[in-house]
């Protein structure tokens, strides 16, 4: 485990002129690209109106920030899917399980800004996981930042817990997802579980070892390495289903985050606009609470539209690799 540290000073007054310029540029760039994101996924007028309604019981924007746009389109389905098609090149596959992003000259591929903030102590772990999997460190940082609980100044909390589910740690892995990654050959967690004798001869987690394995969700290295492996698996699954994902760091981060948040099956259905209404209702309720979910559904006109609007807005605000470049 990594011990806590006093967070660095934050806010505009603490930024250098160069940092302020970088912040202004990324905000302006994101504002324009946000329109492309919503156009590609077909936002309706009702969804646009719902997006303007302040959140109630649900997760607030961190630090009172206003919604901002995306840097690029996340992904669009291949021709014949019924959604607009895009030009980004498909990602190159490393093996049958994972797909790594193409090399990018974008400054977002680095995590220099993270080194200057309250989460600087995680930089070596992010870079190690990135080097092993090929997922850009800024993309990994963006996923963790969107998932983990925050302390003073935005410091990630290694002991984050979701009161509405079994999600825990920097990666907010559910119990089943974490065990699944431990049983997946080739992952960092699988190697750690095998080394500790937690797997039986069939490669499954021993019942008596489950507690120790799940406790590793609170270990920063285990969490970040598993975020990287899960991102690689989800990107490969989305690409196999026909989703085109370019090598841009922002595209990689947002595609990987949708897979991380929804799981690959629901992520495919979400991108194709085929989410089951009851499933959408449950997912939205798990995130914002039942009362707020029903209010959003009534305003949007359907559970699918309400969940879509909430998740697009959350990704737009929180999955921002440019903040760590």
Q: Give the DSSP per-residue string, 6-22.
A: PPPP-SGGG--HHHHHH
**Residue 99 forms beta bridges with which residues?**
93
**Least confident piece of the model among 41-45, 217-221, 226-230:** 41-45
Q: What per-residue confidence (pLDDT) applies to 302?
A: 95
With 0.85 as the threshold, say if the pTM is over it: no
pLDDT, tens digit, 9 for 90 and up, residues 115-154: 999 999 999 999 999 999 999 999 999 999 999 999 989 9
Specify the higher pLDDT residue, 291 or 52: 291
Q: What per-residue confidence (pLDDT) applies to 176?
A: 95
Residue of 112, 71, 74 lying closest to 91 (CA atoms): 74
Give me the number of domains the chain comprises: 1
Total residue count of the chain as it appears in this document: 325
**Least confident piece of the model among 1-5, 17-21, 219-223, 262-266:** 1-5
Task: Give me the chain's average pLDDT, please.
Answer: 75
Q: What per-residue confidence (pLDDT) applies to 16?
A: 58
Which residue range(s) make up the domain with 56? 16-324
Is residue 2, in this structure, part of any structural domain at all? Answer: no
Is residue 185, in this structure, part of any structural domain at all? Answer: yes
Is residue 11, in this structure, part of any structural domain at all? Answer: no
Q: What per-residue confidence (pLDDT) applies to 9?
A: 35
Residue 61 has pLDDT above 80, yes or no: no
CATH of the domain at 167: 1.10.530.10
Residue of 67, 231, 73 lying closest to 138 (CA atoms): 231
Is residue 114, in this structure, part of any structural domain at all? Answer: yes
Residue of 245, 270, 95 lying closest to 184 (CA atoms): 95
Is residue 1, in this structure, part of any structural domain at all? Answer: no
Is residue 235, in this structure, part of any structural domain at all? Answer: yes
Is residue 5, in this structure, part of any structural domain at all? Answer: no
**Least confident piece of the model among 52-61, 132-141, 153-162:** 52-61
Q: How much is the average pLDDT of 95-99?
A: 36
Is residue 153, in this structure, part of any structural domain at all? Answer: yes
Q: Give the DSSP per-residue string, 266-306.
A: HHHHHHHT---HHHHHHHHHHHH-HHHHHHHHHHHSSHHHH
């Amino acid at each position: 485990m990594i011990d806590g540290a006093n967070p660095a000073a934050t806010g505009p007054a603490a930024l250098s002129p160069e940092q302020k310029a970088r912040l202004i540029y990324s905000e302006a760039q994101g504002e324009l690209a946000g329109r492309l994101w919503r156009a590609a996924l077909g936002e309706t007028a009702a969804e646009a109106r719902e997006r303007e309604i302040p959140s109630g019981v649900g997760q607030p924007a961190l630090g009172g920030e206003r919604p901002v746009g995306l840097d690029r389109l996340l992904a669009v389905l291949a021709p014949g899917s019924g959604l607009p098609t895009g030009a980004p090149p498909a990602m190159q596959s490393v093996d049958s399980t994972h797909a790594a992003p193409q090399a990018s000259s974008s400054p977002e591929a680095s995590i220099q800004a993270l080194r200057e903030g309250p989460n600087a102590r995680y930089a070596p772990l992010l870079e190690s996981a990135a080097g092993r999997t090929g997922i850009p460190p800024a993309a990994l940082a963006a996923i963790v930042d969107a998932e983990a609980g925050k302390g003073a100044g935005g410091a990630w909390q290694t002991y984050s817990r979701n009161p509405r589910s079994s999600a825990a740690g920097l990666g907010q892995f559910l119990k089943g997802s974490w065990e699944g990654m431990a049983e997946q050959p080739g992952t960092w967690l699988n190697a750690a579980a095998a080394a500790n004798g937690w797997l039986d001869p069939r490669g499954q987690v021993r019942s008596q070892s489950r507690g120790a394995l799940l406790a590793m969700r609170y270990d920063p290295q285990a969490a970040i390495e598993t975020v990287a492996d899960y991102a690689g698996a989800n990107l490969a699954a989305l690409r196999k289903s026909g989703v085109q994902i370019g090598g841009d760091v922002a595209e990689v981060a947002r595609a990987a985050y949708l897979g991380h948040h929804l799981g690959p099956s629901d992520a495919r259905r979400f991108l194709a606009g085929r989410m089951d209404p009851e499933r959408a209702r449950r997912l939205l309720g798990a995130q914002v609470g039942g009362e707020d979910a029903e209010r959003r559904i009534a305003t949007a006109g359907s559970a699918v539209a309400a969940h879509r609007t909430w998740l697009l807005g959350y990704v737009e605000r929180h999955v921002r690799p440019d903040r760590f470049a």
